[in-house]
Amino acid sequence: MRLVAAREAVLIVASSALAATGCSTPVVDMADANGVVTQGLVLVERSAVEGASAQTNVSAKFMRLPATADADLAERIVGSPFDRPPVGTCLPVGGARGATEEPAPSFSGTGPIELLDVGDVTVRTREAPLALAARAFPDVGDLVFGVFYTSRDTSSELPAPARYTIDSSGSALLERFSFDADAPASPEDVRLGDVDLSDEAVIEEGKSVLLTWRALDTAHVDDRIYVDVIAASGAAVRCGFEDTGRGVLPASALHVRASEGQPTSVTVAVRRVREVPFAAHGIDFGEVRFDLSVLGKARLVSP
């Protein structure tokens, strides 16, 4: 995630400056005297199937953790990971990893993670304000404690494109804050070959297929399209593309073995992801992640 890269860059700059000057006084105000940092992640998710209502979710976590902790691992521990294949590549996700996946890394190197109570959190768009609910984080030994915030149901209106404002009333742990982030549009006019995503394209298994969608007029340079091909078993492959309006799903992503020669149905999720950094007093590293997707079906047939 970009948030991880930002942390690493600041720590490297700070360490280099200290080494060069021989000074033991911090030169950047990115970690307090106790060697901890505060980072925030707001996740806005919207998923829709053609002809059906969108399912939506907003979550927000504000973590205080040791400055030396692995931020990517910390994000996995608190339940907000997103695996990003580099542009032009694919990787297995979910159940597709199977028994060959490397053992999960030890959590012992992260140190304690405190999820901060930041008061009342409200998400504002052109629709009615959305008040998030504070929830206690499930116990993970002595590793994670505190509260996180989520929307109360999956039917909240989350417009896209739109400007989002996230407000906090503040608490004894963190001052009140407010920041904006612009959401892109959800993917539109998605086609597999010459078939609309909603029309269940028939694809010859093991062959690549052209994927097209409507490119944004004002895309951010870091906007990405991720395509998940999900089998009935839950196994999935995710491929990454620049948001240019076209890409090729490789044969390796369309290799789900059909049983006894029968067509195999897979779900195809096309996701536009935008990560927007934010700044707020008391938060060293912040990011709003928009994950907006459309879903369809495809049938894979044996050659």
Digit-by-digit pLDDT tens for the chain (303 residues) are: 455 555 444 444 334 433 444 444 343 445 555 689 999 999 999 999 866 778 999 999 999 999 888 877 787 888 777 889 999 999 999 754 443 444 444 555 567 899 999 999 999 998 889 999 999 988 766 788 999 999 998 888 889 999 999 999 999 999 999 999 999 999 999 999 999 999 999 998 879 999 999 999 887 888 999 999 999 888 899 999 999 999 999 998 987 654 445 668 999 999 999 999 999 999 999 999 999 999 999 999 887
Q: State the burial class of residue 197 (Cβ atoms within 10 Å of its Cβ: 0-12, 13-18, 19+).
A: buried
**Spatial CB neighbours of 89, under 8 Å, sequence gap ≥ 6:** 239, 240
Q: Tell me the C-alpha distance between 50 and 34, whole Å.
A: 51
pLDDT digits (tens, 9 = 90+) for 8-59: 444 443 344 334 444 443 434 455 556 899 999 999 999 998 667 789 999 9
What pLDDT, on a 0 to 100 scale, did the predictor assign at position 51? Answer: 64
pTM check: above 0.95: no
How would you label 141-151 residue by residue, b for 16+ Cβ within 10 Å and e otherwise?
eeebebbbbbb
Cα(237)–Cα(258) distance, rounded to whole angstroms?
Answer: 16
SS percent in the chain: helix, strand, coil, step 5: 15, 45, 40
The answer to whether 31 touches 37, Cβ cutoff 8 Å, is yes
- Residues 26, 250: Cα–Cα separation, whole Å: 49
